[in-house]
Amino acid sequence: MARATIELKGLEEVKKSLSTKRIKKVVRQEVGTAALHLHSVLRDAVFNRYTAKNDLDKRLVRGSSLTSFGKNVIERSLVYNVVAADLSRFPTTWYWGNINSGARRPGRVHIVEVIRGQPKVVHGKDHRGGFQPRGKGGVPIRIFRGGSQMLERVSRAKFPLRVLYGPNTANMINWALDNDSKVRNTLNEFEANVLRVIA
């Protein structure tokens, strides 16, 4: 599984000042506590922007205790498992119509809300429109692994199909690191907290 690593300043100073094999328990716990605080701020920023159920608590790579988590952070920084999310994982609605002029008959035009408050029509990479295969009663059905998916046709032919993806875990984290002021401030505070611990 792919992983996203957040570079945390101050950890190199810990490694230089102390042998990673001999880092005191209190230092590991303090680093773990500071990292968990940063994680909680990052998790809230991602939740407030994106609608997908891509819970960062489940993606965070942790140890069995605060002490082991702090040791992992010192050795590897803050690490998350990256999970891809196709567009069907986001809130989806549809209406009868066409996204291209000149179409012979109407179809389901899908609308997906990836960013809260910003629903958008799924045009697809080549503007053929995204769709969810449906069975009897119009219920989305599974074609590929992972349940119902948002697909598009690669050409005018019925097949082949490809999956349309939204932002994955790493994309969401990177957006928060680049754009959320509270996340950036907490990231800066992390370094100060770590240096205070080893002072």
- Does the pLDDT at position 124 exceed 90? yes
Instruction: Say whether both 97 and 77 belong to one domain.
Output: no
Instruction: Say whether both 105 and 118 belong to one domain.
Output: yes
Instruction: Say whether both 29 and 16 belong to one domain.
Output: yes
- What is residue 47's predicted lDDT score, i.e. its pLDDT? 95
Give the mean pLDDT of 115-125.
96
Range of 114's domain?
86-166
What is the residue-averaged pLDDT of the chain? 88
Percent of the chain with pLDDT over 90: 58
pLDDT digits (tens, 9 = 90+) for 13-52: 777 766 656 778 888 899 999 999 999 999 999 999 999 8
Instruction: Say whether both 158 and 178 belong to one domain.
Output: no
Structural domain tally of the chain? 2
Instruction: Say whether both 160 and 98 belong to one domain.
Output: yes
Instruction: Say whether both 14 and 106 belong to one domain.
Output: no
Instruction: Say whether both 95 and 145 belong to one domain.
Output: yes
Instruction: Say whether both 28 and 81 belong to one domain.
Output: yes
pLDDT digits (tens, 9 = 90+) for 126-184: 999 999 888 777 777 766 665 678 999 999 898 899 999 999 999 999 999 999 999 99
Instruction: Say whether both 92 and 81 belong to one domain.
Output: no
> What is the DSSP code string of the chain?
--EEEE--TTHHHHHHHS-TTS--HHHHHHHHHHHHHHHHHHHHHHHHHB-S---HHHHB---SSHHHHHHHHHHH-EEEE----BGGGS-EEEEEE-SSTT-SS-EEEEEE-SBTT--EE---TTSS--B--B-GGG-B--SSTTSS--EEESSSSS--EEE-B---HHHHHHHHHHH-HHHHHHHHHHHHHHHHHH-
